[in-house]
Amino acid sequence: MKFLICDKGSEAAGEAGRFGSGLAQLAGAEAVHFRAGGGDPVERILAESARGGFDLIVIGSRGGRGLAKLFLGSTSSQLAKRSPLPLLIVKGRRESVKRILVCTGGERPGESCAAWGGRVAAWTSAQVTVLHVMSQLPLDENAKLEDLQDTAEEAIAQGTREGQHLQKLMALARERGMTGEVKPKIRHGLVLDEIVAEVEEGDYDLVIIGAHHPPTGDLWRKLLLDDVAHQIVQECPRPVLVVRAR
């Protein structure tokens, strides 16, 4: 396994280097530091990642609140939209990875997220929580109205599509060799609000979200999915790993 750790010469880049190098050491991966100076850093990072045989890109982000977030982290935001490789966006200082939150919308990107969650948990002995947010509609169009209020345990016990999906993702995480606990969870409300609330309540060290490869020409779907991922990257106060569906 090979990590591309990007250095833009900032404090945030320094934290990304420290966090990424520590993770690479636990994973037994080669850690390659790349100074993205001169020219467009997004294009340089994408070009380097394409020719270097990398498995993961690591980059720092200063984050920000209010109007500040509109002007900060543009490189990480653009990479989150464009990189075909998993992208780890490091925010703030985290000493270790003990709790991982895997977010799923009930589709294929969630499976890739669970696999990466299990992989990182195997390196760090972390606990994994698999979260599905039920905002308005269940995965099954024939589901009963009361299913919208199910807990994860109820959904699994009743065999709903949400329950089956959570079970599948828990199994995918375990298959990656992790030794810690895997817990399912369902929250109800707006996706962004519920993910941020869960992150803060659970004090997670790493959040994993999925991204689609939308069909060519499906512009509106691409814009919608990119916007949700972008908002999570901007608002989440923890390191975020963005993973493309396989």
Asked if 5 and 33 touch (Cβ cutoff 8 Å), the reply is: yes
Which of the four pLDDT bands, split at 50, 70 and 90, describes residue 68?
very low
DSSP 180: S
Residue 244, φ and ψ in degrees, nearest 5? -80, 145
Asked if 143 and 159 touch (Cβ cutoff 8 Å), the reply is: no
Mean local confidence (pLDDT), 100-117: 90
**Using CA atoms, how far apart are residues 202 and 99, in angstroms rounded to an integer?**
8
**Using CA atoms, how far apart are residues 179 and 159, in angstroms rounded to an integer?**
26
Mean local confidence (pLDDT), 30-49: 86
Query: 136-172 pLDDT, tens per residue?
Result: 555 555 555 555 678 999 999 999 989 999 999 999 9
Which of the four pLDDT bands, split at 50, 70 and 90, describes residue 213?
low
Contacts 24+ apart (CB under 8 A), 39-47: 41/6, 41/8, 41/75, 42/75, 42/78, 42/79, 42/82, 45/4, 45/6, 45/75, 45/79, 45/83, 46/79, 46/82, 46/83
Asked if 89 and 76 touch (Cβ cutoff 8 Å), the reply is: yes
Measured from the Cβ of residue 94, the count of other Cβ atoms closer than 10 Å reads 17
Look at residue 67 and tell me whether its pLDDT is greater than 50.
no
Residues near 40 by Cβ (< 8 Å), separated by ≥ 6? none
The pTM is what? 0.87
Query: 40-51 pLDDT, tens per residue?
Result: 888 999 999 998
In the chain, pLDDT over 90 holds for what percent of residues? 52
How far apart are the two ends of the chain, measured CA to CA in Å? Answer: 17
- For the record, the structure tokens of 35 come out as 């100074």
